[in-house]
A and B are shown apart, each in its own frame.
Chain A
C-alpha cells in the first residue's frame, strides 16, 4: 500500500471507495426489467423451463440478501447475471456428481466407441454411417435462422450432461479454458477431449436433422 505514495499521479483518494456509486439498485423494478432476460439466459444454458424459473427466483432472492455488498461498479443487469451464472454452474456441478463414475471415462483418450471402429485393421476409422455424409452441414440456400436455433437447441439437449456443460461454457459463454476446468473440476486435456466429443455429437445430430 505504501508504495502508492511514491507513484506520481495516483492520488490516495482514488484507492479508497468512491463516494457515490455509479449504479444503484432498484429491486422493485427487477422483475419487470430483468425477469425475461435472466430467464432466457438460464433457458439457453439449461433448457429446462422449471429449473430456469426456479433459478430466476433464487437469483432475485439471493441478490436481495446480498444487496449491501453491491459496489455500484457494474450495472444491475450485469450484477444479477453474475449471480445467476454462479447458480447455473452449481446446477452443472450437481449433474456431474450424480454421475461421478462416468467422468472417469473421459480421460485423455480420443477413441469413442460410438463413432469409430475398434477392431484391428480398421481401428480408429469412422464407423459406417457415423462419419460425415453430406458435403455441407447446413442446407443449400438461405437458412431460416430460427430453424437453425431450434435444431441447435435440440442437439445440445441431446448431449450427455457433462459434455453439454463444457460445450456451452466454451461456445456460448466464451469462458476461457482455465475457468471451465476449475468450475468443472477437470484437467485441460480432459476438456479438449470433451469438446471434441461434443462436436462429434453435435455434427452428427445436425446432419441427421437436415437429412430428414
Chain B
C-alpha cells in the first residue's frame, strides 16, 4: 500500500498542465522527446481531450505550412511586381549600370 501511495505521489508531482503539454506537442514536431517527457505528454493526452485536438491540429498546421511553402515558391500564389515599381527599379538600376 505504501508503495502505491509513493507511486501516486511520484506521478502527481510530474503531471503537467495544458500549457506544458501544448509546448511539448509543438516541440516534438522538431525533436524526439526524452522518455520522461514523452510519458508525461502521453499521460496528459489520455485525460485531456482539448490537448488531443491540439495535437492533431498542430500536425495539420505543419502540413499546411508545407503546402504553403510549395505554392508560394511557385506560380499559383506568387506575388508580382507592379509594372510601375518594375519600371522604377529598372530605371534606377540601368542608371547605376551605365554609370559604371
Contacts and interface: CB of A to CB of B under 8 A. Distances in A.
A110 B80 contact: no
Contacts of A61: 92-93, 96
Interface in B24-44: 26-27, 30
B97 A132 contact: no
Interface stretch (A85-93, A95-103, A188-196): A188-196
A36 B17 contact: no
Interface of A is mostly: helix
A136 B50 contact: no
Q: Which are the 8 A-B pairs with shortest beta-carbon distances?
A: A124-B17, A132-B53, A43-B79, A149-B77, A196-B26, A110-B23, A137-B57, A137-B60
B81 interface: yes
A31 interface: yes
Interface of B: 16-20, 22-23, 26-27, 30, 50, 53-54, 56-58, 60-62, 64-65, 67-69, 71-73, 76-82, 85-86, 88-90, 92-93, 96-97, 100
Interface residues of A, number: 56
Given A135-B53, A149-B77, A35 B89 contact: yes
A171 to B, nearest CB: 5
B47 to A, nearest CB: 12
B89 A111 contact: no
Contact of A64 (B54, B56, B96): B96
A65 to B, nearest CB: 9
B78 A35 contact: no
A207 B17 contact: no
Interface in A52-91: 52-53, 56-57, 60-61, 64
Interface in A102-120: 110-112, 115-116
Contacts, number: 147
Contacts of B71: 145-146, 149
Contacts of B85: 39, 49, 53
B19 A111 contact: yes
Given A57-B92, A196-B27, A64 B22 contact: no
A181 interface: no
A153 B77 CA distance: 10
B93 to A, nearest CB: 5
Interface string A35-54: 11001100110000100110
Contacts of A134: 53
Contacts of A115: 19
A104 B61 CA distance: 27
Given A35-B81, A115-B19, 12 more contacts: A31-B86, A35-B86, A39-B85, A40-B79, A110-B23, A131-B53, A135-B56, A137-B61, A146-B76, A195-B30, A199-B61, A200-B26
